[in-house]
Amino acid sequence: MEDYKSIFDIQAEVGLTKQIGGLKATEELVELCHIGRGKYVLDVGCGVGLTACYLAKTYGCRVGGVDIRKKMIDWSNERARREGVEDRVEFRVSDAQDLPFEDDLFDVVICESVVALVQDKQRVLNELARVTKPEGYVGLNESTWIKTPVPTEWVELLASDLSDRGQPLTSDGWVGLLEGAGLRDIVTRIHETNARSESSNFLKRYGWGELLRILSRSLSLYFRSPAYRNIAKEAASVPKNLLEYMGYGIYVGRK
């Protein structure tokens, strides 16, 4: 039996991931990064491949996707086959801190709800900028503290194994990372969110059919895995008003 440590290990098992802000946030990245037909886009921390397949299908881009978890890449490949975009998307297992691509390759590099989970955030931003072509765009959608001071116990909860030792930043913190990677013309949009809109984003993203299949895999795992039951219990203890303090930011810079 697998040794699940965080909710993302569980998500990889059942085939579920989500970016904060949902499709609306992805569409903001599309607009601000000028994603369109013929562009070569990289989605770093692509999860189960929804955004990569969506961009290939809707905007006719060529898309690369990487994720640190092999199971995420398996789900992504299966989705690309199902959605008939295998000729335009390619997925690989890789760490965002050490991307397996040459310099100046992609027109656009995006990262949706991933950098908060990595300890060396500046190293990730440097990598995103390195593989982007000169004049190309780097776009992030990341959880952002919108009200401070944040109660210490929440910071500690998010920084635990449960959420992959995640660490949201303030908008100044995120902008500082883009600047540190040498990006310019930085555009920032900060949004509030709430539990209701985040749940309805799940439905819009997956549709009832896929959500029911995910639910059935989750239930089966719940009964088989004590580690899953522990994580589910811990996840249920996340304070309900966390989203008063944590929203999301869209941060885009140009190389």
Ligand X SMILES: C[S@@+](CC[C@H](N)C(=O)[O-])C[C@H]1O[C@@H](n2cnc3c(N)ncnc32)[C@H](O)[C@@H]1O
Site for ligand X, rule CB under 6 A: 8, 17-19, 45-47, 50-51, 67-69, 72, 95-97, 112-114, 117-118
- Minimum CB separation of residue 72 from ligand X in Å reads 5
Q: Which is nearer to ligand X, 50 or 252 (CB)?
A: 50
Q: How far apart are CA 249 and CA 65, in angstroms?
A: 21
Shortest Cβ 117–ligand X spacing (Å): 5
Nearer to ligand X, 98 or 185 (CB): 98
Q: How far is the CB of 52 from ligand X (least distance, A)?
A: 9
* Residue closer to ligand X (CB basis): 75 or 145: 75
Q: Which is nearer to ligand X, 109 or 185 (CB)?
A: 109
Q: Smaller CB distance to ligand X: residue 51 or 144?
A: 51
Contacts of 63 (CB under 8 A, 6+ apart): 40, 41, 42, 43, 52, 53, 55, 56, 88, 89, 90
Give min distance, CB of 216 to ligand X, in A: 20
Work out how close the CB of 17 gets to ligand X at its nearest, in angstroms, rounded to a whole number.
3
Residue with smaller CB distance to ligand X, 79 or 255: 79
Convert the chain into a string of H (helix), E (strand) and C (coil). Answer: CCCCCCHHHHHHHHCCCCCCCHHHHHHHHHHHCCCCCCCEEEEECCCCCHHHHHHHHHHCCEEEEEECCHHHHHHHHHHHHHCCCCCCEEEEECCCCCCCCCCCCEEEEEEECCHHHCCCHHHHHHHHHHCEEEEEEEEEEEEEECCCCCCHHHHHHHCCHHHCCCCCECHHHHHHHHHHCCCEEEEEEEECCCHHHHHHHHHHHHHHHHHHHHHHHHHHHHHHCHHHHHHHHHHCCCCCCHHHHEEEEEEEEEC
Least separation, in Å, of the C-beta of 41 and ligand X? Answer: 13
Closer to ligand X by CB, 192 or 198: give it: 198
